[in-house]
Amino acid sequence: MDISTLIVLVVVVALVFYVIAIYNKLVALKNRYQNAFSQIEVQLKRRYDLIPNLVETAKAYMAHERETLEAVIAARNTALAGLKSAAANPGNAEAMQGLAGAEHMLTNALGRLNVVMEAYPDLKANQNMMQLTEELTSTENKVAFSRQAFNDAVTEYNVYRQSFPPVVFANLFGHSLDAKLLEFADSAEIQQAPKVSF
Amino acid sequence: MNFFAEQDRARRKTLVLVLLMAAAVLCLILMTALVAGMALQMLQQPIDSPNLGVAVHAGWGGLIQRLMESDLLYYTSASVLLVVIGGSFYKMLQLGGSGRKVAEMLGGRLIPPNTRDPEEKKVLNVVEEMAIASGNPVPQVYVLEESAINAFAAGSDRRNAVIGITRGAMELLNREELQGVIAHEFSHIHNGDMRLNLRLVAILHGILVIGLIGSFLLRSTARRSNDKNRGAQVGLGLALVILGYCGVFFGNLIKAAVSRQREFLADASAVQFTRNPDGIANALKKIGGHSRHALLDNERATEYSHLYFAQGVSHFLGRLMATHPDLSERIRKIQPRWNGAMITPSAKKEEPAAEPAPAPPASGVSAEQALGLVAAVASIGNPQAESLAAAQDFLHELPQALHDAAHDPFSARALLFGLLLDKNTEYRERQRAHLRQHCDSETWSALEQLQPAIDALARSQYLPLVELAIPALKNLSPAQYEGFKRNLVALIKADEQISLLEWCLYRTVSANCENRVARGHLSLKQVSDAVATVLLMVCDDASTRTAAFEAAAAHLPQRIPTPDTPLPAIAQLDAALKQLEQLRPLEKPQFLKALAAAIQADGKVTHEEAELFRALADCLDCPVPLLRVS
């Protein structure tokens, strides 16, 4: 064993450390976006909790709009189920798409409810209703914000995973797939009562 | 129990231990090299060579002499040394750094600050109280899904520390007992135990690697068919295994002994903090009565065994290798007249209204219970029960809307913006115009909603509220955080001057969210300019300067002549802070005492002086409890 072998040994050891560091960083970034999802979960759960209250208050005034109300409840339940499966597996393409789809349906159902509510000015003026819609809006803002943080974290993970040299080892270390961003359709326009023109 | 002396003692003890370990490693290296060298020599001779017989018959002495003359010994020593250092380094990288990594490796899940689960909220509230009371930034809390009752504190210093708690502990301990456990964990953070243990574990791991190589060699001989080399390889492998594991055995003994001692210290600190020995004693009793005690299931639990509240992994050598003292012994130290009965915990649903009833709140009662400046300096890192009461009062007096806003990343930003809005209407309009332009409408409406409550806050509530919001702000993504900081800076600059309050708020946020490390080797003599700048900031006018500098001189190594320069600009204060962050740890309390003396020289403590003191201490990594403003 001469000095050159020793140097080679040191270089090999350094490379091994580098590869270990790559592994650790992949794990850390993955954990980060999974934790970021929990923020979305908190806000979405709040949103789903508000909806039954909303429907109950509306029922008292809108006795004949059963279908619309039931559609809202059904959409809410689907969304809640979608959230549970997404929370178990954040970043998974199927789960994210499932959640996004369920949320889209829920926003549509709520939009239709809003349209129908236009015909019931008493309901719109009801204190409870105003408070609930206000809270609902504020929760939606928070959902959007936490979704942005989640997507940032997912992007960071994806970019690192695809860059060189991590891309060489990613498959080996069990990080073979990109994490999926969470995309909600823009809810703002749907919430507004559409202009009815004749 | 002096915070800084403890930290220093922990550091010095580490040095002694490191030296001991180094000596052990050196012996280990020499022996290993000798063994390896001999094995390699034997390998170089063919088995039927007459030389081998000659070598053996010449005795070990001759062999060793020949070895020493050859270069082989040096190369083997070098490679063994490399292996040990490499192993230690690897472990340091793995375990060190931010506490989040450890928590995640143990399978912990972050509790979001705005969680709505009542049990998680209870834990977060307890952690918050303790953090505010001891002057630490509120650490993030992770939950481990284990049924046993255990907790841990991980991280290399108080800014990136995290606290973990098992599901079992959350469900089975009541609020009082949780307080005891969390206080114990905070003591570990204060006493620098985490760093000490980290170094021990890392060094041990380096020695362990030798044993691992030995066992690898042994295993690979099974596949080898070459008889000639087999004997030597088996011999080498066996020797390495024996040496390695012997080293680890004795190393573990040392580590366990040190760890046990620190546990007693942490128990004692916790009792002092909560002034309630029953809390922590009952928690220990419940662990004793629990079917799984504190044992964790996770396969990686052993690596972090030194971090837990109670023995997290069982060892077949039991008492010798235990990182925690015996439960009964710990309980008896806290409650000398204990009857020996453990408590069998049951997961009964506790009444949700178990929040502590505050002392009758008159306006500013929290200010009354907060400590005076000198008392606060004395209790740095050694928080007292009065601070805990003051913290609980603060949290109770805080309007619920602001409390909720501080826990949500979205509205925490609005909260900070609101705190920075100027009293002067012209500047306020300018700031609001900027915000209206640069943040989205939702943040704007959140701000509008919170503004009345923020304006109604007492001045002494500002900084603690910011500290409360830190965990939520840490949940911002890097891009969101950058945008947030830009807005903060724009708000501060709107009135074309930076007030002390603005500086304190900004520095508290940035130091904590960016995990700035404040460690260095400068002495007070070397930073006397910076000290003078800071002292000038707390002098109201030229007439009080002399008195202030006189008072401060008692705690400084050399007199600083009273300067007659005008009040320093904030930029100079910033530069001074950068210098002070590099102070040697034992010089920091001297500096803080000097500053405290200067502040009190004029007989009163104003809000600005208290805020400056607290913000500076926070940036210097010294936890200062809530201060009383006279």
Q: What is the mean pLDDT of each run of 10 residues along chain B (630 residues)?
A: 57 67 72 71 60 56 64 73 80 75 83 87 91 85 90 83 91 90 87 75 78 76 64 74 78 75 81 84 88 75 72 66 79 82 70 43 46 78 81 89 90 91 85 85 85 89 89 89 91 85 90 79 85 83 80 82 79 88 84 87 83 88 79
The ipTM assigned to this model is 0.78
From the list B100, B116, B411, which residue is nearest A46 (CB)? B116
Which of B621, B426, B611 lies closest to B503, judged by CA?
B611
Residue B103 to chain A, least CA–CA distance (Å) = 10
Could you tell me if B79 lies within 8 Å of chain A, comparing CB atoms? Answer: yes
Inter-chain touch B93–A21, beta carbons under 8 Å: yes
CA–CA distance, A3 with B75 (Å, rounded to integer): 9
Inter-chain touch A6–B410, beta carbons under 8 Å: no
CA–CA distance, A167 with A157 (Å, rounded to integer): 12
> Distance of CA B621 to CAs B73, B388, B517, Å?
47, 20, 8
Inter-chain touch B79–A152, beta carbons under 8 Å: no
Cross-strand partners of B144: B166
pLDDT at B520: 80
Find the residue in B nearest to A87 (Cα): B109
Inter-chain touch A144–B442, beta carbons under 8 Å: yes
Beta strands B109-110; B140-144: pairing state: antiparallel
Identify the CATH number of the domain defined by range A32-186: 1.20.1440.20
Q: Under a CB-based contact definition with an 8 Å cutoff, are residues A179 and A33 in contact?
A: yes
pLDDT at B207: 78
Find the residue in B nearest to A145 (Cα): B410
What type of residue is B599?
A: I
- DSSP conformation class of B379: T
Could you tell me if B147 lies within 8 Å of chain A, comparing CB atoms? Answer: no
pLDDT at B416: 92
H or E element, residue B158: none
Inter-chain touch B409–A145, beta carbons under 8 Å: yes
Q: Taking the domains of chain B in order of start, what are their residue ranges?
A: 3-96+202-242, 100-196+262-334, 398-513, 524-619
Find the residue in B nearest to A7 (Cα): B79
Which of B617, B611, B625, B622 lies closest to B460, judged by CA?
B611
Chain B contact set for A1 (CB, 8 A): 72, 75, 79
Residue B540 to chain A, least CA–CA distance (Å) = 44
Residue A121 to chain B, least CA–CA distance (Å) = 25
Could you tell me if A45 lies within 8 Å of chain B, comparing CB atoms? Answer: yes
pLDDT at B329: 84
Helices (H), A62-171: 66-88, 93-117, 121-125, 127-162, 166-170
pLDDT digit string, tens, across residues A121-174: 888 888 888 888 888 888 888 888 888 889 999 999 999 999 988 988 888 888
From the list A41, A142, A153, which residue is nearest B408 (CB)? A142
Number of H helices, E strands in chain B: 27, 4
Residue A112 to chain B, least CA–CA distance (Å) = 23
pLDDT at B127: 93
Chain B contact set for A9 (CB, 8 A): 79, 82
Find the residue in A nearest to B440 (Cα): A141
CA–CA distance, B547 with B601 (Å, rounded to integer): 6
pLDDT at A162: 92
Could you tell me if B223 lies within 8 Å of chain A, comparing CB atoms? Answer: no
Cα B346 from chain centre: 32
> Distance of CA A44 to CAs A41, A50, A58, B53, B140, Å?
5, 10, 21, 81, 22
Q: Under a CB-based contact definition with an 8 Å cutoff, are residues B253 and B135 in contact?
A: no
Which pTM was predicted? 0.78
Could you tell me if A63 lies within 8 Å of chain B, comparing CB atoms? Answer: no
Inter-chain touch A146–B114, beta carbons under 8 Å: no
Give the CATH architecture of domain B100-196+262-334: 2-Layer Sandwich (3.30)
Residue B59 to chain A, least CA–CA distance (Å) = 25
C-beta pairs of B19-26 under 8 Å, 24+ apart in sequence = B20/B254, B21/B200, B21/B203, B21/B204, B21/B207, B21/B251, B21/B254, B24/B207, B24/B247, B24/B250, B24/B251, B25/B81, B25/B84, B25/B203, B25/B206, B25/B207, B25/B247
Could you tell me if A144 lies within 8 Å of chain B, comparing CB atoms? Answer: yes
Could you tell me if A15 lies within 8 Å of chain B, comparing CB atoms? Answer: no
Residue A66 to chain B, least CA–CA distance (Å) = 31
pLDDT at A83: 92
CA–CA distance, B509 with B275 (Å, rounded to integer): 31
Q: Taking the domains of chain A in order of start, what are their residue ranges?
A: 32-186
Could you tell me if B411 lies within 8 Å of chain A, comparing CB atoms? Answer: yes
From the list B86, B112, B479, which residue is nearest A42 (CB)? B112
Find the residue in B nearest to A30 (Cα): B104
CB pairs under 8 A between A and B: 78
